[in-house]
Amino acid sequence: MRTQIISQRDIVWIALFVLFCSTAYGLQTQLDTTIHRRQVEEFTNLPTGKSLSPLLAGFDLLAADYYWIRTVLYFGRYVPAADMPVELGSWAKGNKAPYTGEWEKPALETLYPALNLVTDLDPLFVTPYTFGGLFLSSKAGEVQQALDLLAKGREHCPDNWRIPYIQGYNYLFHLNDGATALEHFVAASRLPECHSDVEMLIKGITSFTDKKALMLQFLTTTLETEEHEDMRERIRAWIERLRDNSE
């Protein structure tokens, strides 16, 4: 009789445990959804640099760092690093990026205003320009937004070779405009501390090297010179996808 009572208690405890787990999972899901929605609302309603700057009492650079960190965390959470394009240039025809999750679309749609805000507050902060120049076009399919951000970077950071370098990438791989791309790559090659492989890329364009080979060369050089770890992770994944697709 004692054994039967213990078994019945075990069944009750197991049932309670299952009920607790299912309830906890439901609450966690609701909490995650609430957090996601709040983040989307925050990034959808970002202020402009012009409206925010007078309220910062000279702490523009600190605010830029804050919004940059928030942007990287938000983008990194909802946009998979491994989900980078293999086919090149198709989005320039008006196609948009394929979204792989419910929250990826708003993350990509709010990337440009977030980066624009960061660079309004700190126009000399190079990484947001290069980050946006790559991922606005390659992941969000927003080539013009990428070019607009890079043009802004070129205006404020004229001596940084990475900005015209990524401008050239967008013209070559997304707009299929080799002549304009070449102009940007040549401009990059003439700036201080430019990576020597840019000259190889220029030779590859003028000798009509296969575009995927050029793309791998571009990404390899970008990986070697990039200091931001989130970008490095995404570029590594991108290189792996291109190599797997080429086999």
Assess if residue 23 is contained within a domain.
no
Residue 140 belongs to some domain of the structure = yes
Distance CA 9, CA 14 (A): 9
Q: Tell me what pLDDT residue 85 has.
A: 56
| Count of domains forming the chain | 1
CA distance 217 to 69: 29
Q: Tens-of-pLDDT digits for all 247 residues of the chain?
A: 444 445 555 555 565 555 555 555 454 444 445 555 666 666 777 888 888 888 888 899 999 999 898 888 888 776 665 555 545 544 444 444 444 455 466 667 888 999 999 999 999 999 999 999 988 888 888 899 999 999 999 999 999 999 999 999 999 888 888 889 999 999 999 999 998 888 888 888 877 667 778 888 888 888 888 887 878 888 888 888 777 776 5
* CATH number of residue 190's parent domain: 1.25.40
Contacts of 163-169 with CB under 8 Å at 24 or more apart are: 163/126, 163/129, 163/130, 163/133, 163/188, 164/188, 164/191, 165/194, 165/198, 165/222, 166/129, 166/130, 166/133, 166/134, 166/222, 167/133, 169/133, 169/134, 169/218
Is 139 domain-assigned?
Answer: yes
What pLDDT score does 39 carry?
60
DSSP reduced 3-state for 111: helix
- 31 in a domain, yes or no? no
- The whole-number pLDDT of residue 206 equals 77
Domain residue limits at 119: 46-246
pLDDT score, position 92: 41
pLDDT digits over 210-235, tens only?
Answer: 777 888 888 888 888 888 787 888 88
Tokens of 213: 């080979």
70 domain residue, yes or no? yes
Residue 6 placed within a domain: no
Q: Measure the N-to-C terminal CA separation of the chain; round to a whole number of Å.
A: 68
In a domain, 152, yes or no: yes
Does 122 map to a domain? yes
